[in-house]
Structure 1
Amino acid sequence: MTITTIGTAVRLRAVSRIYGTGESAVTALDAVDVDIAPATFTAVMGPSGSGKSTLLHCAAGLDRPTAGEVMIDGVSLTGLSERALTKLRRARVGFVFQAFNLIPALSAEQNVALPLRLAGRRPAAGEVAAMLAEVGLADRARHRPSELSGGQQQRVAIARALVTRPAVLFADEPTGALDTTASREVLRLLRTAVDRHAQTVVMVTHDPYAAAHADRVLLLADGRVADVLDHPSGAPEIAVRMARLEETA
């Protein structure tokens, strides 16, 4: 199945990812074609082993496909050296993970400023403070991760991912380790990033409630895009489509 839109922030063309060789080879992605439009929120779902995390990792330049082409913001990742790929990720890609991945020894404001410093840019006056205020943590700027709740840590991670205003924000199960209240706040921030700042968000999730915040839901099975939901009506519709997919998997 080919997913196409007008204008693309992320493009995958015939992307396959095979792990191992010979009889032990496992095909995680099988000739996937996907276009993700700018300023949209896309959720990626599927049964365990369907390839959703592999799709995100290849799309984000964290893993190299066995075959096919990945483009981010019009730049092909094919053939880029590791140094060039790292530079592109720092400039054009933001990441949010289930495990937060904050630096324990750094304060919230230092964690948020880190991508700017890695890119060789000194944060402008008030830039980091503004990002923390945007995620509701202005009063926690000098707290270290151990002094923050899980939800607060994830909000710092979102501020860190967005501070460079990347072309795409990739989120891998961002609510997986959070309670209901914290999950809602994280999803609200991701939705706001799209609606207010025209960011592009691609989120892997197992949760139909989380996926219901997206503009489009890609349902994967056996390494392929098996179904697509545009503007889902809510979590129940997504859950039904997932159940059908699992029945035929």
Structure 2
Amino acid sequence: MVSLHDLRMEFRAGPDPVTALDGVTADLPAGSFTAVMGPSGSGKSTLLHCAAGLEQPTSGEVVLDGVRLGELDETGLTVLRRERVGFVFQAFNLISSLNAAQNVALPARLAGRRVNEVELAAALTRVGLSDRARHRPVELSGGQQQRVAIARALFTRPAVLFADEPTGALDGPTSRHILALLRELVDEHGQTVVMVTHDPVAAAIADQVMLLADGRLIDRLEAASAATIAARMASVEATC
């Protein structure tokens, strides 16, 4: 579903460039759950942004759902992000004056699309919020707000759902519910999910874990336990 080939990203910070990604190559299969981990400054969020078409890499190639992102202009990237990509972030980014249903439907309305009320109701049911459709964000818990954000991201039926620290602002039990929902989307609906996280427990629900350090992909763990991931992360951080 997502292929990264020799991805490099450099930023200018004073007289010398800073390398955020240094030749990352990886395949993220359709219908899989990938967690991206690494120490602070390792390039996790930059990788996510390049893979999702939010930023253009300095060099290398990203192919998302068969589309070569480097061949698209800004209009093409905007259309791709709107139609094939879903985003969930640590901040829920809900509009406070809109209720849950209106927040879920907002991207479609902004794109000038007619909103199917049956599909809208189904999206909220899918995340367990069928009884909260008319509630505004202030009337919802943090976990419920994140579920609205997930429903909004999935409403356009994206090829890939990108999540950047989706449980970072939530307590333990609520985090587990959100992670279970993401796992369910992969297992029962074939959704492709790519998640940046710093939490080994969260990463352990993924099919594979990509470990970054200094902008490079240094390891890939498959079906690893939280203890295994934590131990590997500790060894990485000790060398950084």
- Shorter chain as denominator, the TM-score bin is over 0.9
Matched, 1:235 2:230: no
Distance 1:22 1:145 in 2: 41
Q: Which one is further off, 30-39 or 12-21?
A: 12-21
Gaps spanning 5+ residues in structure 2: where? none
Matched, 1:244 2:235: yes
Q: Note the C-alpha offset of 1:119.
A: 3.5
Distance 1:17 1:144 in 2: 39
Instruction: Calculate percent identity across the aligned residue pairs.
Output: 67
2:194 aligned partner:
202
Q: How many residues align?
A: 240
Q: Note the C-alpha offset of 1:121.
A: 2.4
1:108 aligned partner:
100
Shift >6 Å, 4+ stretches: none
Letter in 2 for 1:109: A
Q: Note the C-alpha offset of 1:23.
A: 3.9
Cα-to-partner distance string for 1:119-143 (whole Å, 9 max, x where unaligned): 4322223111111111111111011
Q: Note the C-alpha offset of 1:22.
A: 7.2
Matched, 1:77 2:63: no
Letter in 1 for 2:167: T
Q: Which one is further off, 77-86 or 148-157?
A: 77-86
Q: Is the 8 A contact 1:91 1:119 kept in 2?
A: no
Q: Is the 8 A contact 1:45 1:220 kept in 2?
A: yes
Gaps spanning 5+ residues in structure 1: where? 1-8
TM-score by length of 1: 0.93
SS, match of residue 71 in structure 2: coil
Distance 1:130 1:244 in 2: 44
Distance 2:223 2:111 in 1: 36
TM-score by length of 2: 0.97
Distance 1:230 1:160 in 2: 29
SS, match of residue 43 in structure 1: strand
Q: CA RMSD in A?
A: 1.2
Q: Which one is further off, 101-110 or 46-55?
A: 101-110
Distance 2:7 2:14 in 1: 20
Q: Note the C-alpha offset of 1:21.
A: 6.5
Q: Which of 85, 88, 111 is the matching residue for 1:96?
A: 88
Letter in 2 for 1:153: Q
Q: Note the C-alpha offset of 1:96.
A: 0.1
Q: 1:21 to 1:175 in 2, by over 3 A?
A: closer
Letter in 2 for 1:76: R
